[in-house]
Amino acid sequence: MTSALPTPDDLAAACGAALDEVRRCTPLVQCLTNEVTTNLVANALLAIGASPAMASVPGEAEELAGAAGAVLVNLGTPGPDQRACLAPTVAAAAGAGVPWVLDPVAVGVLSVRTRLAGHLLGERPAVVRGNASEVRALAGFVSAGRGVDARDDVDTSADAADVLARRTGGVVAVSGPVDLVTDGTTHVRLAVGDRLLTTITGAGCALGGLVAAFTSVAPPLTAAVAASTALGLAAERAVIDARGPASFQVGLLDELYLLTPDDLACRVAAAQRIGVPA
């Protein structure tokens, strides 16, 4: 029996409430993340109201994971220490009932991280967040990705996202001009954001961190919708006074910090289209 679809108003209200809860609880988010984008991920988490921990030392990473509100695993720069941390950190999170988010950067293009991501899927991430090419590759579909760049369309990757969501029992968030969030049954499409997000290094990584923060206080579908809309709305506001990528990035953090629960709920209500697979 198919569960009832969330109404746009209910989902919008839940996203606003999730932001309020993040700000109230200040959840610890343990991040095994891309060395190139660590600063932006940490600052985005601070701006939204969470507390980032960027520990990737074997022995310490799993200790933090068991005590965190959520864990982010980003495969952008899988060096030796991070590779040694991955399995025990994810296992510690799973054992403690801590939700974790997988960001499969460049999976399907580069062999080491593709194997790592495949092994990690067995630990059932709450959310997989990636671009269309990464999601297709992780689901076992043909992918046209090039490095971290997507060469596949979000809409034509919906089947792959559904397969992946059903395999993990979680949610898949596909980033693109119009984002797609699916639990394998319900599709939420979000028309939100600005093209300048593609001109800074780490926007996707920051989104992964935001998804993790929201999973600490909300169900995965709500968390992924809230995070995607929060980043997109902050981008729409930041671009107004931006002169280029550098000022845009500064403005993006400011706008995440200034975002209110009502702002987020209103933008979710305006951005979303909810449906089921055709």
Residue stretches of the annotated binding site for ATP: 129, 175
> In terms of C-beta density within 10 A (0-12 exposed, 13-18 middle, 19 or more buried), how is residue 128 classed?
buried
Q: How far apart are CA 227 and CA 219, in angstroms?
A: 12
HEC readout, the chain: CCCCCCCHHHHHHHHHHHHHHHHHHCCEEEEECCHHHHHHHHHHHHHHCCEEECCCCCCCHHHHHHHCCEEEEECCCCCHHHHHHHHHHHHHHHHHCCCEEEECCCECCEHHHHHHHHHHHHHCCCEEEEEHHHHHHHCCCCCCCECCECCCCCHHHHHHHHHHHHHHCCEEEEECCCEEEECCCCEEEECCCCHHHHHCCCHHHHHHHHHHHHHCCCCHHHHHHHHHHHHHHHHHHHCCCCCCHHHHHHHHHHHHHHCCHHHHHHHHHHHEEEECCC
**End-to-end Cα distance, the chain:** 17
Beta-sheet pairing, 28-32 with 187-190: unpaired
Binding-site residue numbers are: 54, 129, 175, 202
Binding-site residue numbers for substrate are: 54, 202
Beta-sheet pairing, 51-53 with 28-32: parallel
